[in-house]
Amino acid sequence: MAILVAAALAALPAAAQEKRDIKALSAEQTGQYLAGAGMGYARAAELNRFPGPMHVLEFADRLGLSPEQRERTRALMDAHKAEARATGAKLVEAERALDALFASGNVDEAGLARAVAAAAALEASYRLQHLDTHRRMRALLSEEQVSRYVELRGYAASGRPHGDKH
């Protein structure tokens, strides 16, 4: 994720980035964090046969989800979104604080280390929440449903092993 962000930042003229509210985040990134969006944080799970609840619900009929599976998936997604939004808001504020530190012109080594560690810990938590939601989602599905999900998402030709258990 950091590589993608760095590549996107490198493509922008510095003057455009200078006008941002939070220099390290685009308005789109800020909005995605505040919305609890996936932003590719769960790609390791998704591409290794660990479905996400949003897409599971999208394919509910085609996956043959039982009423209980639908209810548990919806509950998982709702809980995850609430948690991700809360963490995303804290992450945006941590990035705002880091930006403010530099804007103040008074950046000492200890303060910088604290600000970076705070933002990094929140980003790690955000990613963990997304990955863990995929792990928990897979536990609610049968192997047949996981295989069907992989096909519906267009991953079936990826050559990934199909016999892996949760």
State pLDDT tens for residues 1-13: 556 666 665 555 6
- Please give the radius of gyration of the chain, using alpha carbons only, rounded to the nearest integer: 19
Q: Is residue 13 part of a domain?
A: no
Tokens of 136: 């928990």
Q: What percent of the chain has pLDDT over 90?
A: 77
Q: Is residue 57 part of a domain?
A: yes
pLDDT band at 162 (very low <50, low <70, confident <90, very high): very low
Per-residue pLDDT, averaged over 12-29, amounts to 76
pLDDT mean across residues, the chain: 89
Q: Is residue 30 part of a domain?
A: yes
Domain housing 142 = 26-155
Q: Is residue 162 part of a domain?
A: no
Q: Is residue 86 part of a domain?
A: yes
Per-residue pLDDT, averaged over 32-60, amounts to 96
In this predicted structure, what is the pLDDT of residue 98? 95
Q: Is residue 12 part of a domain?
A: no
Q: Is residue 6 part of a domain?
A: no
The answer to whether the predicted template modeling score (pTM) of the entire model surpasses 0.85 is no
Q: Is residue 144 part of a domain?
A: yes
Q: What's the number of domains the chain is made of?
A: 1
Tokens of 149: 């999900």
Buried b (16+ CB within 10 A) or exposed e, 13-37: eeeeeeeeebbbbbeebbebbeebb
49 neighbors 150 (Cβ within 8 angstroms): yes
